[in-house]
Amino acid sequence: MENQTTKKSTMIHKENEWEWKFVGIWADMIKDTGLAEKLKNFSASETLILFKPYEKPLEIIQENLRLRNQYNQLKSGGKKDDVKVMEDAIQSQIENLPFSPELCIYSSESDNCLKI
């Protein structure tokens, strides 16, 4: 029988730090100490903090791909203002994570979005 953790970790893996920047941020990139404290029981390099809850890992992948394609089209089309709007929105979401009453994270330890 295939190990479920292995299967999941191949779906959402950390190819590069910013691969998932459209839907979340990796826990080991967090600078806020209060937020880091909330996540101390999780492997920081394998935990993706999501900007909003998702039902299934596939939804996370699809949303990230859609937004990444949109971002790349704007960049290749030279639409600097629209690219800046997307980048500012991502930065705002990252800055607001510590103030979220409930965080949703994806970790290889669970099939679903865990709320902490």
The tens digit of pLDDT for each residue in 50-80 reads 999 988 888 999 999 999 999 999 999 999 9
Collapsing DSSP to helix, strand or coil, 102 comes out as coil
Strands of the sheet containing 114-115, edge to edge, are: 24-26, 47-50, 104-107, 114-115
Q: How far apart are the first and last CA of the chain?
A: 30
Mean pLDDT of 6-18: 67
Task: Read off the pTM.
Answer: 0.81
The tens digit of pLDDT for each residue in 21-54 reads 999 999 888 887 788 888 888 888 888 999 999 8
pLDDT given for residue 46 in this prediction: 86
DSSP state of 98: G
Beta pairing, strands 47-50 & 24-26: antiparallel
